[in-house]
Copies of this chain bind each other. A is one copy, B any other.
Amino acid sequence: MVVELISVGTELLLGNIVNTNASYLAEKCALLGLSLYYQSVVGDNEERMAETMRTALGRSDVVIVSGGLGPTKDDLTKEVAASVLGMPLKEDKHTRKRIEEYFKNSQFKIITDNNWKQAQVPAGSIVIDNKNGTAPGLILEKDGKSMILLPGPPNELRPMFEETVFPYLNKLQPETICSAMVKICGLGESYVETQIADMIEKQKNPTIAPYAKTGEVHLRITAKAADEKEARKLIKPVVKELRNRFGNHIYSTDEKETLAENVLNLLKERQLTLTTAESCTGGMLAARLTDVPGASEVFKQGLVTYSNKAKRKLLDVKKMTLKDFGAVSEKTAKEMAKNGAFITGADVCISVTGIAGPGGGTEEKPVGLVYIACCLNNKLTVKEFHFKGNRAKVREYTVARALTLLRSCILEAEGKEEKA
């Protein structure tokens, strides 16, 4: 089955916003095993939109259109789609009621005439309720083809896709598609790919697709079967085999769990508190941890010691250490971690010191050199890294590797040595 995406919006044509809906929808379609050959962006213009829709319907089975469902006169997606498919608009009572209720619960109490436009739907279409806005989603079916209209704001589009469109598309296909995500940290993309080359070589059903993230590799395992239960049964041994090969480097098989969340959960389960002592990442590591709601149960404070003086004053790093070994050294990283834990009274302290660039590098200590240390219940571990890329990249990699080191120290403390 071939699917195609059309994104509607002047903001996209002007480059005001990045088209994250397209990448979101494309990834979901890939996950459903659908073939996607074309994506288009078009403005709120009747003629051009109609032309784009007709072309798409001519070459694809399903066309997903996002954007242009708002209440203003500029918003034409529904009107054009209805006209292209020859389905007249009529008011949908259920949607009218939902709009009334939406306004009752919102700070804007006045419903303008414009808003009732959103209760008009093409006759015979399937209405998808929008929990986060007033524009309903719509599925228009004609001559064995489907056109799916979704509102542009991602916080409206995504839940509607997940709850209604995903199962709808899955049912259109002869087989059910299921997938699992295996998230790996602390190993490079090419290493991971080499380790599973044999599995990828002979794969048919399920398939394995690697996605490289900064400091992580995610493997999506996708299976087709008569029903979900059968598909899950196909996925299970693959996940097991991946666990055999990558051991504790697999930090999660949960679609939504991040590495920071995983580390915080591990600490919470063990009733350990955490502190951070950062130099080159300058607060990014603490920020990543506090992105997670509820981080406060584990993470109580962090220190950003950007200058040498701050390292001495706030973290009690020895003057001689800084003089003899430098701020970017194994010894400084170790003192930062050890003293950070002691001073704050935390069970664990993770420290980071490095040269993020663009300036500050020397032949001996080039840009990208980073030391990360972890002090867990007084046991010290330190690692040296050489990251490639610009300042932002070096800092991003450092955060990912700091979380990874922290994680492996927690597991090693229990004798759960890493496999790979």
Contact surface of A with B, Cβ cutoff 8 Å: 12-20, 22-30, 36-43, 45, 48, 52, 55, 209, 211, 276, 278, 280-287, 289-291, 293-296, 299-307, 309-310, 313-314, 344, 357-359, 391-392, 395
Contact = CB atoms under 8 A, between A and B. Distances in A.
A89 to B, nearest CB: 26
A305 B24 CA distance: 36
13 contacts: A18-B19, A37-B43, A40-B41, A276-B304, A281-B290, A284-B287, A284-B290, A287-B287, A290-B306, A293-B359, A301-B310, A302-B303, A303-B303
Contacts of A36: 13-14
Contact of A301 (B55, B303, B391): B303
Given A12-B23, A296-B306, A301-B305, 7 more contacts: A15-B22, A22-B41, A283-B286, A283-B304, A290-B306, A293-B391, A302-B303
Those 10 A-B pairs whose CB atoms lie nearest each other, nearest first = A282-B290, A283-B286, A15-B27, A15-B26, A301-B310, A283-B283, A302-B304, A39-B41, A283-B287, A300-B307
B37 A45 contact: yes
B23 A15 contact: yes
Contact of A15 (B30, B43, B310, B314): B30
B24 A22 contact: no
Contacts of A307: 296, 300-301
A403 to B, nearest CB: 14
A290 B286 CA distance: 13
Count the copies. 2
Contacts of A45: 37
A276 B26 CA distance: 41
A45 B35 CA distance: 13
Contacts of A23: 12, 15-19
Nearest to A41: B39
Residue among A302, A305, A391 with most chain B CB within 10 A: A302
Contacts of A302: 282-283, 303-304, 306
B42 A13 contact: no
Given A283-B302, A306-B299, A37 B42 contact: yes
Nearest to A307: B300
A29 B15 contact: yes
Contacts of A40: 38-41
A153 to B, nearest CB: 12
Residue of A15, A24, A38 ringed by the most chain B CB atoms within 10 A: A15
Given A300-B309, A307-B301, A359-B293, A14 B37 contact: no
A420 to B, nearest CB: 24
B41 A15 contact: no
A301 B299 CA distance: 19
Contact of A20 (B18, B301, B359): B18
